[in-house]
Amino acid sequence: MATLTTLDRDAPLDEVLDHLHRDGGVIVRDMLSDDARRAIVDDLAPTMDATAPGSKSGLENWEVFHGAETVRFCGLAARSRAFVDHALLNPVLLDVADAELLGACTSYWLNTGQVMAVGPGEKAQYLHRDENNWPEAINADGEITVSCMFALSEFTRENGATVVAPGTQSLPPGVMRGHEVDEDDVAYAEMPAGAGMIYSGKVAHGAGSNATDGLRYGMHVSFVAGWLRPEEASPLHVDRARAAELPERARQLLGWASYHSEGGGRTWLYDFEDAADLFA
């Protein structure tokens, strides 16, 4: 069976990137401290308790993809300051995002911050590529999105640890939904609570099946090139008043700043000015 490498939080960035490029994913221990993880869990507890499992899309394909026994919700930056401070602004994840994305853009922003809590009896999700969200922008030579699955509880093969097919990030570009692979060629992102699995937008992956009586509590955070529209409309969750309370970097990642291309173009403006000037 394939495996993913697990590194310590203070591992050199070059080492993290080497394993990411080789396998499509790498596990990093202690990306969240115990205190930070507990604070996020506590902040999100009311929404977890109030959210029923299953898709809210009303679309058959999305219902299959989301899973009937999986709790999902977004808007984490509006629900948890600890999420902003320790996940959105996580230095390990931002260093990787800088290295992977800035070659194709001048800045990036949050694609989505999303709880993915796999419940007992959930079936395995079909393998897919995250970059499939933007099929027109897929680039064989670089990334347009990079992600991290944070373990808010322990991830095991039995409770639904993320399934990854190492090496599939090097396959030809194209939409990949339902990728078939031999069991010997997949790895399970087994990791302790507080760890994170950082992975490529090109690698085939999906949530595993949960054969236990407990919940596999995961939190997905992904970034996308600044010239692409994100999956989640963050400014609809984090309004101007709440954004004003956050660090400047967090505001930019949440869409409260404009995009400036190398060629001089500017997008996502507020009355022809940088949206960041609203907080000057």
- What are the per-10-residue average pLDDT scores of the chain (280 residues)? 96 98 98 98 98 87 86 98 98 98 96 98 96 94 97 98 97 84 93 98 97 98 98 98 98 98 93 96
pTM comes to 0.96
pLDDT, residue 175, reads: 84
Q: Which of 165, 167, 182, 184 is nearest to 1 (CA)?
A: 184
114 backbone dihedrals φ, ψ, rounded to 5°: -145, 130
Question: Is 131:235 a contact under the CB 8 Å cutoff?
Answer: no
Strand residue runs (E) in 216-265: 216-225, 259-260
Can you give the pLDDT at residue 263? Answer: 85
Other C-beta atoms closer than 10 Å to the C-beta of 41 total: 18
3-state secondary structure of 241: helix
pLDDT of residue 57: 82
- What span, in angstroms and rounded, lies between the C-alpha atoms of 22 and 19? 5
Q: How far is CA 188 from CA 2, 143, 148, 183, 200, in A?
A: 8, 23, 15, 10, 15
Q: What is the pLDDT of residue 1?
A: 82
**Ranges of each domain in the chain:** 6-236
CATH level 2 (architecture), domain 6-236: Sandwich (2.60)
Q: What's the confidence (pLDDT) of residue 32?
A: 98
- Residue 180: what pLDDT? 82
